[in-house]
Amino acid sequence: MRSIIWTSIISATFLVGAATGCKKKEATDNAAESVAKATDNVNEQKKDLAEAKKDVADQQKDVADKQIDVAVQQGEKGMAEAELVAARTAYATTTKDRMTKFEARIAELDKKADAKSKETAAALHVRHATLKTKLDGLQTQASATWNNFTKDVDSSFDSLEKDLNDALK
């Protein structure tokens, strides 16, 4: 009987060991599976992070490119403004010289005694005053209207000078 008890105890020990070993194997398998899933998740998160970093880098490059474009445009604007100031200055000098010559010539017409000359001189003085008023706005002309302004002033000058020349003949 003793041998039956010992055999039973040994058999039970083997059974318990086998049963416990299976549970440990299942637990190990479950843990390994969890680790594998976590590793896959980490790898996926790494890929997502790398893509996000690439997107941020691309956006930063786009911002830098746009900042360069803005700086270039500001430089071009500054150059255009400087050119407009220079053009205004040169045009002001030219129109001042032209106005001085016109005023000297209209004084000649004023000296004439006949009625037609006096009437023409009076009309030319009115147009002269109108032209001077236009020229007072020379420094405030925007670049968008500059060409039209100069064409208008030049046309007015040409007309005045032609009429004055005709009257002095």
Q: Does residue 157 fall inside a structural domain?
A: yes
Q: What is the pLDDT of residue 8?
A: 55
Q: For the purposes of burial, counting CB atoms within 10 Å of the CB of 36, is it exposed (0-12), middle (13-18) or buried (19 or more)?
A: exposed
Q: What is the pLDDT of residue 10?
A: 58
Q: Does residue 65 fall inside a structural domain?
A: yes
Is the whole model's pTM more than 0.85, yes or no? Answer: no
Question: What average pLDDT does this structure show over 103-128?
Answer: 91
Q: Round to whole Å and give the CA distance between 26 and 20.
A: 10
Q: Does residue 50 fall inside a structural domain?
A: yes
For residue 168, what are the contacts with CB-CB under 8 A and spacing of at least 6? 105, 108, 109
Structural domains in the chain (count): 1
In the chain, how long is the greatest CA-to-CA distance? 165
pLDDT tens-digit map of 8-63: 565 555 544 545 554 567 767 787 787 788 788 878 888 888 898 899 899 999 88
Q: What is the pLDDT of residue 94?
A: 95
Q: What is the pLDDT of residue 125?
A: 95
Q: Does residue 18 fall inside a structural domain?
A: no
Range of the domain at 161: 27-168
CA distances, 115 to each of 61, 69, 119, 127, 148 (Å): 78, 66, 6, 19, 36
Average pLDDT, the chain: 84
Q: What is the pLDDT of residue 1?
A: 57
Q: Does residue 60 fall inside a structural domain?
A: yes
Does residue 146 surpass a pLDDT of 70?
yes
Q: Does residue 63 fall inside a structural domain?
A: yes
For residue 99, what are the contacts with CB-CB under 8 A and spacing of at least 6? 131, 132, 135
Lowest mean pLDDT among 96-100, 112-116, 131-135: 112-116
Q: What is the pLDDT of residue 139?
A: 86
Q: Does residue 48 fall inside a structural domain?
A: yes
pLDDT tens-digit map of 64-77: 899 998 888 999 88
Q: Does residue 102 fall inside a structural domain?
A: yes
- Please report, rounded to a whole number, the percentage of residues in the chain having pLDDT higher than 90: 39
DSSP string, the chain: -HHHHHHHHHHHHHHHHHHHHHHHHHHHHHHHHHHHHHHHHHHHHHHHHHHHHHHHHHHHHHHHHHHHHHHHHHHHHHHHHHHHHHHHHHHHHHHHHHHHHHHHHHHHHHH--SHHHHHHHHHHHHHHHHHHHHHHTGGG--HHHHHHHHHHHHHHHHHHHHHHHHHH-
